[in-house]
Structure 1
Amino acid sequence: MNLILFEPQDFVAEQQAVIQGRRLQHLLQTHNAEPGQQFRAGVLNSMVGQAELLNISSDQALFHLSLDSIPPEKLPITLILALPRPKMLRRILQTVASMGVARLILVNSFRVEKSFWQTPFLQPEAVHEQLVLGLEQAKDTVLPEVMLEKRFKPFVEDRLAALSQNSVKLVAHPGNYAACPRALTEPVTLAIGPEGGWIEYEVDKLQQAGFTPVQLGERILRVEVAVTALLARLF
């Protein structure tokens, strides 16, 4: 936890807030925190700065906040990701938040098992928890927007054009395609498939929507590795 991320419900006065639970245990066990210490802090979807620890017990910690800086800028990217396996989803949500993705769209695909959509890890509170962990890692405060699209064809045909407007449209897919570009500055919409990749029908539909297939080489990467590698390469 490189930043203590406060949420609106933590505030007990205008510049004072308390934490409990996981964040408190981290302070006690990792930092051996004592009153008077200063910590990097931020408020969810707001500013960052410093938090002075006023008092701490086994139940809660009280801070005085001084927030004077804006959080890191988001990457100008909409990431379209075929819904991964539930355990992998948690790690990817953290990665997406820590790397600064502005918008994540989880979509269905032929190779996505129907049971994946029933996982409790897709519940709003579970998604929020993993995103917060990613923000804390990266000293960020702004949550990425997360959307769920359970029907691939209607999403691509009816909604994708508006969501990807005025951006470089790329679909990551192994094959005899151009290499993924590097160090872009313009907005990007990137589609990454499931384990095993998109099926050809899905690649064709994305191409019809204006997406250009790109690849990272001969090695086939796990989805969570591909997400990190593609984001780092693009930006």
Structure 2
Amino acid sequence: MNCILLPAAHFSNDSAQINSVAQIAHINKVLAAKMGDTLKIGQLGGNLGTAIIEHITPESIQLRNVQLAIKPPPKLGITVVLALPRPKVLRRLIMDMTALGVHDIILINSYRTQKSYWQSPMLSRLNEFVLEGLQQGVDTIAPRISLQKRFKPFVEDELAHLITNRAIVAHPYGALSFSQYLQQQTLVTPEKNEGLLAESESSNKTILPSMVFIGAEGGWIDYEIELLATQGCQAVHIGPRILRTEAAVNAMLGQWLL
């Protein structure tokens, strides 16, 4: 945890209270904090800041002099549509995407998604994983997460309304690399110079897509790639190596961070 996030109900004027067992254990064992020390805290859905530890018990930690004046970092302008992965990697993926600042996450069914994944108790713990990601990324605004259990109806009936710019689908066998795709999207924008347009003083602006589809282990099948293509989704690859879903997510989203 790089900050301690608390719901609004845990704040009162310039004081706050920590009741979470995990947060108390982190403060005691990892931070080795004591009374009088300053903590980095934040209000879920609000601002970030600091507070001073006033009192510590095994069940709770009382804070004083709460100062919340720092706005959370901006979100990445992207929606990640992720084929529901194996339950044991779902936690890491939700944490990573939250920490990276993804705005919207859509967990979708795919041909290679096992039906049992949708019955996993991990799906009932998404808020828990989001909190871990927010505390890792020092953010307070949770991504919006939705579940889509039917691939074809989602792509045919809803996808077009969700794409605000462009959409890509990560596919190791795509003919176009992600870098080539970005080069194609680069616009040359002339800048004004004393009221005149000077071509020599132009800036290149890369237009990043607003949505990216990333498959689970095994990737997308040809039918899914073709169906996405009918909605304008461009298949791109990020190199000759076949990556795990976690690696692919982080490699792709790194472009938005930059």
Q: What is the TM-score of this pair, normalised by structure 2?
A: 0.86
1:225 and 2:223 matched: no
Superposition pairs for residues 135-146 of structure 1, below 5 Å? 135-146=134-145
Q: Aligned residue for 1:207? A: 229
CA distance in 1, matches of 2:174, 2:251: 19
Higher strand share: 2
In the alignment, the residues of structure 2 paired with residue 184 and residue 145 of structure 1 have an alpha-carbon distance, to the nearest angstrom, of 26
Specify the alignment match of 2:195 in structure 1.
none
- Which is further off, 13-22 or 87-96? 13-22
CA distance in 2, matches of 1:90, 1:67: 29
Match of 2:193 in 1: none
Identity of aligned residues (%): 40
Q: 2:5·2:140 contact (CA, 8 Å) conserved in 1?
A: yes
Say whether 1:190 aligns with 2:217: no
Kindly report the root-mean-square deviation, in angstroms, between the aligned alpha carbons of the 2 structures: 1.4
Structure number with greater Rg is 2
SS of equivalent to 1:76: strand
- Are the equivalent residues in 2 in contact too, given 1:84–1:195 (CA < 8 A)? yes
Q: Do the aligned residues in 2 keep the contact of 1:184 with 1:234 (CA within 8 Å)?
A: no
1:102 maps to 2:75: no
Counterpart of 1:4?
Answer: 4
Give the Cα–Cα distance (whole angstroms) in 1 for the partners of residues 46 and 62 of structure 2: 19
Per-residue Cα deviation, 1:9-33 (whole angstroms, up to 9, x for no partner): 323x223221121101111111222
Shift of 1:121: 0.7
Residue matched to 1:178: 176
Structure 2: 5+ residue stretches without partners: 183-204
Q: CA deviation at 1:178?
A: 1.3
Q: Report what 1:24 is aligned to.
A: 24
Q: Distance in 2 between matches of 1:189 and 1:29?
A: 40
Is the 1:92–1:224 contact (alpha carbons within 8 Å) kept by the matching residues of 2? yes
Runs of 4+ in 1 over 6 A off after TM superposition: none
Structure 1's unaligned 5+ residue stretches are: none
Which runs of structure 2 are paired with 1:122-161 in the superposition (5 Å)?
122-123=123-124, 126-161=125-160
Report the Cα offset of residue 187 of structure 1.
Answer: 5.0
Give, as a single letter, the amino acid of the residue that structure 2 aligns with 1:162.
H
